[in-house]
Amino acid sequence: MNATEAIEKRSSTRSYTPEPLTEDEVRALLRAGLAAPTATNRQELHFSVLRSGNALLQRIEDEKNRLRGARPDKNFYYDAPLVIIIGAESSFRWSPVDAGIAVENIALAAEELGLGSVIIGCIYDALCGEKAGYFNHALGFPDGYAYEIAIAVGHKAAEKQPHTFDFDKQVTFLP
């Protein structure tokens, strides 16, 4: 699969089988994130890797539910076997952009490996709220780092078509 194929085939997966990812798969996903460009090559991103069953996932879910209300059917990571949480230097202007590029790199690497993924922003309030200090420490973030974005990855239990878009509405060609 080439890069364009991965970009065009990728879509968010919200249903996973329990099959765990192999160490090689996990390392390939992390290498894809680490290979992402960062502004001024600062490499300010930190990747925290959680396998399903890690008690911290439930603590994050509980805090999200406390702040936003629980969804009865699904947790924030859709029971995926792997969640990668990306933190970055909170004072660096480009951290959100750099984290976004890295998380998409991981999503595309997952697609190439035949895996599904979904980017996760809904835990922002939980991880950046009053318990930020606790979660930053529990996630192993260096001092001065904060949550930026996360991604769940696993074997797809359901297929979804990529989203459609309106090329003409979103693109302007200037002469």
x/- contact string, 136-165, with ligand FMN (CB under 6 A)?
A: -------------x----------x-xx--
Cα(95)–Cα(150) distance, integer angstroms? 14
> Which is nearer to ligand FMN, 101 or 119 (by Cβ)?
119
The distance of closest approach from Cβ of residue 119 to ligand FMN in the complex, given in angstroms and rounded to an integer, is 4
Please measure the distance between the N-terminal and C-terminal CA atoms of the chain and give it in whole angstroms: 35
Q: Which of 120, 127, 139, 153 binds ligand FMN (CB under 6 A)?
A: 120
The distance of closest approach from Cβ of residue 151 to ligand FMN in the complex, given in angstroms and rounded to an integer, is 9
What backbone phi and psi angles, to 5 degrees, belong to 97? Answer: -70, -50
70 binds ligand FMN (CB under 6 A): no
> Which is nearer to ligand FMN, 113 or 120 (by Cβ)?
120
121 binds ligand FMN (CB under 6 A): yes
Indicate the burial class of 138 (C-beta count within 10 angstroms; 0-12, 13-18, 19 or more): middle
SS3 of 149, please? strand
Residue 14 burial (CB count, 10 A): 17
Cα(141)–Cα(137) distance, integer angstroms? 6
Q: Which of 56, 67, 119, 146 binds ligand FMN (CB under 6 A)?
A: 119
Size of the site for ligand FMN (CB under 6 A): 12
Residue ranges in 9-68 that form contacts with ligand FMN under rule CB under 6 A:
11-12, 14
The distance of closest approach from Cβ of residue 174 to ligand FMN in the complex, given in angstroms and rounded to an integer, is 27
Cα(138)–Cα(75) distance, integer angstroms? 20
Local structure of residue 73 (DSSP, 8 states) = S
Give residues in contact with ligand FMN (CB under 6 A).
11-12, 14, 118-122, 149, 160, 162-163
